[in-house]
Amino acid sequence: MTSREDEILQLIKDDPFIQQQSIADKLNISRSAVAVHIMNMTRKGVIRGKGYIVDRPQYVVVIGGTNMDILGQPEVAMVERDSNPGKITGSAGGVGRNIAENLARLGVDTKLISVVGDDAYGNVVLEATRKAGVDVKAVSQLTGQTTSTYLSLLDAHGDMLAAVSDMSILDHLNIGLLAQHTDLIQHAAAIIIDTNLNDDVLAYLFSKFHDQVIYLDTVSTAKAIKAKPYLKHIHTLKPNLLEAQTISGLPLNSDEDIDDIADWFIQQGITRLFLSLGADGILYRSAEDTALIRSPKVNVINANGAGDAFLAGLVYGQMNNLTDAESCRFALGCAMLTMEHMQTINPTITELMVQQRLEEALC
């Protein structure tokens, strides 16, 4: 194929229902020239029939926040209201973006829909995300806006002490922007969203795409409650105990209460619940099955990002036809590798590394 045909084919893969005039406008050529190229590709068997039917691999779409993460950790125990010697690092972050990068590093074809500013941080996170293998064509870089920034402070053991986030730019990740990517979302094998999205956007997504496989990351106790109106449309939910208790409104005083909370989610219509019990593992629940999957011991260096990696592992499991139990174990392996690295995302994570780490944990 010619280079021009490659360009046209990529536009068609991104949007199989794109009009010839839209292709012409994007490539700055005439509509008649587009028609000739499409006719030639049809003769070559690259595309077939009306609607530009092409052979396309399965992919997932992640819709959520993209941040610049600034992380500080003291060398010894923190002294409040004082300057503490330690390390400060910066990296691309954001719940949605982190999930997308983990998925790409695991070999899953991943498209990210998000927004960043036209500032230095925006350029950094876009380039880092692209280099990690994520398709960022649907990430909008907004003029005059500040890229979402997340500032976190860890203790000497790697657990979070406090965090401050400026995510006001996410107000621009609105229904109008998402409507521009309807075809991309509709053809995804799975849609992954997080509760950083505002209420109007969540309502739109669950209304328009309710018949698709949707994964929801609850993000935090404060934001988890946003999930409650849409539980019957969520395929996979991954809360921790406090988030689950907040959503359900049920008491949490005993092990029996944990079972009641898990049952409640299934009664609301959730297809799969993976309830994080911290060091005790994951309680998996569906209408047909239940299991407690223990978490191997981990040398925690940085607990940030473990939940993002876990959810990515679950999506990987779906894309590779793993059972729910196999998906959960693989997801735990992803979380383990993440916690054992200083960065929010382990930059060396691969499918093979996860499998090897799980084998080591069983020894």
**Domain membership of residue 37 as a residue range:** 3-43
Same domain, 177 and 314: yes
pLDDT of 55 over the 60 cut: no
Same domain, 148 and 25: no
Average pLDDT over residues 114-120: 96
Looking at the domain assignment, is residue 51 inside a domain? no
pLDDT of 1 over the 70 cut: no
Looking at the domain assignment, is residue 49 inside a domain? no
Residue 363: band (very low, low, confident or very high) from pLDDT cuts 50, 70, 90: low
Tell me: the pLDDT tens digits for 209-239? 999 999 999 999 999 999 999 999 999 999 9
Same domain, 120 and 10: no
CATH code for position 128: 3.40.1190.20
Same domain, 261 and 196: yes
Average pLDDT over residues 52-57: 61
pLDDT of 262 over the 90 cut: yes
pLDDT of 203 over the 90 cut: yes
CB-based contacts of 159: which residues, under 8 Å, 6+ apart?
300, 303
Q: What are the helix (H) ranges across the chain?
A: 3-14, 20-27, 31-43, 95-105, 120-131, 175-179, 182-186, 199-208, 221-224, 241-248, 255-267, 306-319, 324-339, 351-362
Number of domains in the chain: 2
Tell me: the pLDDT tens digits for 318-329? 999 999 999 999
Give one word for 275, left, alpha or beta, with left for phi > 0 and alpha for psi -120 to 50: beta
Average pLDDT over residues 31-60: 75
pLDDT score, position 35: 85
Query: CA–CA separation, 126 vs 115, rounded Å?
Result: 10
Residue 52: band (very low, low, confident or very high) from pLDDT cuts 50, 70, 90: low
Same domain, 30 and 69: no
Average pLDDT over residues 192-209: 96
In this predicted structure, which of 44-53, 230-239, 272-281 has the lowest mean pLDDT? 44-53
Average pLDDT over the chain reads 91
Which among 338, 321, 335, 330 is positioned nearest to 359, based on CA atoms?
330
**C-beta separation of 205 from 178 below 8 A:** yes
Same domain, 69 and 215: yes
CATH code for position 20: 1.10.10
Half-sphere exposure of 301 (CA within 13 A, CB side): 12
Same domain, 205 and 343: yes
pTM of the full structure: 0.80
Looking at the domain assignment, is residue 149 inside a domain? yes
Same domain, 119 and 23: no
In this predicted structure, which of 148-152, 302-306, 348-352 has the lowest mean pLDDT? 302-306
Burial (Cβ within 10 Å: 0-12, 13-18, ≥19) of residue 80: exposed
pLDDT score, position 68: 93
Query: CA–CA separation, 20 vs 33, rounded Å?
Result: 9
Query: CA–CA separation, 237 vs 231, rounded Å?
Result: 9
Same domain, 38 and 66: no
**Number of helical (H) and strand (E) elements in the chain, helices listed first:** 14, 13
Looking at the domain assignment, is residue 87 inside a domain? yes
pLDDT of 54 over the 60 cut: no
